[in-house]
Amino acid sequence: MTEGKVTGLIRKVSGPLVVADGMRKARMFDVVLVSDKKLIGEIIEVKGDLASIQVYEETGGLGPGEPVESTGEPLSVELGPGLVESIYDGIQRPLDVIRKQVGDRITRGIRVPGLSREKKWEFTATAKVGDEVGGGDILGTVPETTLVEHRILVPPGVAGTITKLSSGSFTVDDIISELDGDGDGTKHELKLMHKWPVRVARPYRERLTPEEPLVTGQRVIDAFFPIAKGGTACVPGPFGAGKTIIQHQLAKWADAEIVIFIGCGERGNEMTDVLMEFPELTDPRSGEPLMKRTVLVANTSNMPVAAREASIYTGITIAEYFRDMGYSVALMADSTSRWAEALREMSGRLEEMPGEEGYPAYLPARAAQFYERAGRVICLGKDGRIGALSAVGAVSPPGGDLSDPVVQATLKVVKVFWSLEDWLAYERHFPAINWLTSYSLYHDSLEAYFRTEVSEEWGEMRATTMRILQQEAELKEIARLVGVDALSNRDRLILGTAKAVREDFLHQNAFDEIDTYTSFPKQYKMLRNIMTFNRQAREAVEQGVQAEELFALPVNGEISRSRYVPESELDELDEIEGKIGSEIKGLIEKRVGAEEPV
């Protein structure tokens, strides 16, 4: 028997949990092959001779006495050229390749490598023989797609002097370089690919403070609740509130160089939408298909539940790999509630003491471990390149209850909270993010960026807008009691301005070709016009002009239509600012003229 491998026999089968005997020498988190069908599983508990194994495939038909063999290796992913444009299941089996081999339904025990062993890649060496290299240093590049230059890295923990390095056409299994390690005769043979355990965070040199926003083109996010590159965000909300649509919008429009989308336990039709949409979408910066910088991990609700637990680790390990190349990576996990449910099911079958609502007591720790792998870092390697990994997790609490343990465990570790509300969705307000309960803790670290790249007055304008929205909430309560007509002229102006912010700025149509994405220059000009109108209208109100007269001005229609102005014609928004002043001035003069004695 090969060293590190252990064989045993199945003693008990309980859904995705298999208990095997004779596994005393097995190690935690080793991958095992279960039964003669070679089903893939992972050891999650060892007690004496017994090993508890979560199996990532359907266990129907298995019984006691069947063999179990440990591979002696942890669950790992293959990292190298061929990741981009791929569609994987939760344990990095390429679904398109499996479909070609066995049809529409995945057969049990099928083993397909994550990266093709036949395809050849053009490798161009950038290092040279004689160079001293270590983990994270770049050996050369492969043009993986027209949008992604794949940088071939020395794996972490490997170092030495290059004694051989070849440019040319290679498969991921071919040896492209040899290192002489530390002069002790140790040889390291390097390929285009290497493996990495999914539960182990990839190392980096130094963690940095996020200083630049991840621009999403979604106005409510970018303007009020921004996420930084290297940041973390949580999107909880009830069924029908638009979590998946927001995740899709971020995947399409976020200014990340690599997008990793994990469909973790989601319904098959939603994942189908992603698989059909992404190849047809055009990257706004390059004009190329969006799939040319995207990796999809599809683990739908009808797939074995245990594979959900592995899928988010598979996705974030691939994301860390591209981060280590110096790229900005955006990872979307939809939804972490399904991942937590897989944890709960396995915990129950292990007969562990349940925590709140049956979830295991270690749920908050696991959530923290996942989100902690996001960040902006100085990567390993001599060149000091900077990479960023931003993680956005959707949460689906039952009935939209934000006291749900998964929501609370997530909120403890993320810095952005986008609170989705079903009542906003029912009012046809999308994105249905509640501007009164959401928050972002990145404002201070991003302030310098906004002041230099957007406008000196951006922070003050954002604060003024939020204050108006909060005042509106208070005034609505009063208006319900006494009626809008009983409010003062100034209060009615606040209600009208807040309505303009909500309907003309925060509301955004994901299916409109122009409104689906808004750049920062356009966001600034749109919000500036609303705030300019509010400021000048307040002055008019003080001179006796009625709020209703102000909102009847023609310029309000132009402010409302601003979101449909193309990015190439933003001068129109500057013209609106001039019209605001002239129309309000005309109204004041008309009012003053009417009051003068004849």
pLDDT in tens, 556-592: 999 999 999 999 999 999 999 999 999 999 888 887 6
CB 374 within 8 A of CB 390: yes
* pLDDT tens digits along 522-545: 999 999 999 999 999 999 999 888
pTM: 0.93
Q: Band the pLDDT of 401: cuts 50, 70, 90.
A: confident
* 360 contacts 296 by C-beta, under 8 angstroms: no
DSSP secondary structure of 175-194 = EEEEEEETTTTEEEEEES-E
Amino acid at 464: T
Structure token digits, residue 596 = 């003068």
Long-range contacts of 557-561 (CB under 8 A, 24+ apart): 559/500, 559/504, 559/526, 559/529, 559/530, 559/533, 560/500, 560/503, 560/504
In residues, how long is the chain?
A: 598
The domains found in the chain, sorted by start residue, are 7-74 (2.40.30.20), 206-440 (3.40.50.300), 458-595 (1.10.1140.10)
Q: Which amino acid, residue 381?
A: G
Helix 458-482 and helix 520-542, axial crossing angle in degrees, nearest 10: 50
CB atoms inside a 10 Å sphere around CB 78: 16
Burial of 250-276, coded b for 16+ CB within 10 Å and e otherwise, reads bbbbbbbbbbbbbbbbbeeebbebbbe
Number of other CB atoms surrounding residue 109 within 10 Å: 14
Q: What pLDDT is attached to residue 104?
A: 76
Per-residue pLDDT at 310 exceeds 60: yes
pLDDT of 4 strictly over 60: no
Non-local CB neighbours of 569 within 8 Å, separated by 6+ positions: none
* 42-50 mean pLDDT: 94
Give the residue-averaged pLDDT of 361-375. Answer: 96
Give strand pairing partners of 213.
228
Burial annotation 334-359 (CB, 10 A radius, 16+ → b, else e): bbbbbbbbbbbbbbbbeeeeebeeeb
Q: Give whole-number Cα distances, 340 to 42, 201, 232, 345, in Å.
A: 17, 20, 18, 9
Helix (H, G, I), strand (E, B) or coil at 583: helix
- pLDDT bin (cut points 50, 70, 90) of residue 596 is low
With a cut of 70, say whether residue 1 has pLDDT above it.
no
pLDDT for the residue numbered 182: 65
Cβ burial of 230 (10 Å; 0-12, 13-18, 19+) is: buried
Average pLDDT over residues 303-308: 84
Q: Report the run of H or E that residue 270 belongs to, with start and end.
A: helix 268-277
Residues 6+ apart with CB under 8 A from 154: 133, 134, 135, 136, 137, 138, 139, 179, 190, 381
Contact call for residues 138 and 152 (beta carbons, < 8 A): yes
* % of the chain at pLDDT higher than 70: 97
pLDDT band at 448 (very low <50, low <70, confident <90, very high): very high
Of the candidates 193, 195, 199, 201, the one whose C-alpha atom is nearest the C-alpha of residue 153 is 193
Can you tell me the mean pLDDT for 335-355?
92
> Residue 163: which H helix or E strand, with range?
strand 160-165
pLDDT digits (tens, 9 = 90+) for 137-153: 999 999 999 999 999 99
Whole-number pLDDT of residue 281:
76
For residue 179, the model assigns a pLDDT of 94
Output the six-digit token pair for 353. 């003491």
Measured CA angle at 43 (ends 39, 45), to 5 deg: 145
3-state secondary structure 25-53: CCCCCEEEEECCCCEEEEEEEEECCEEEE
Q: List the one residue out of 575, 595, 598 whose CA is nearest residue 587.
A: 595
Q: What is the mean pLDDT of the chain?
A: 91
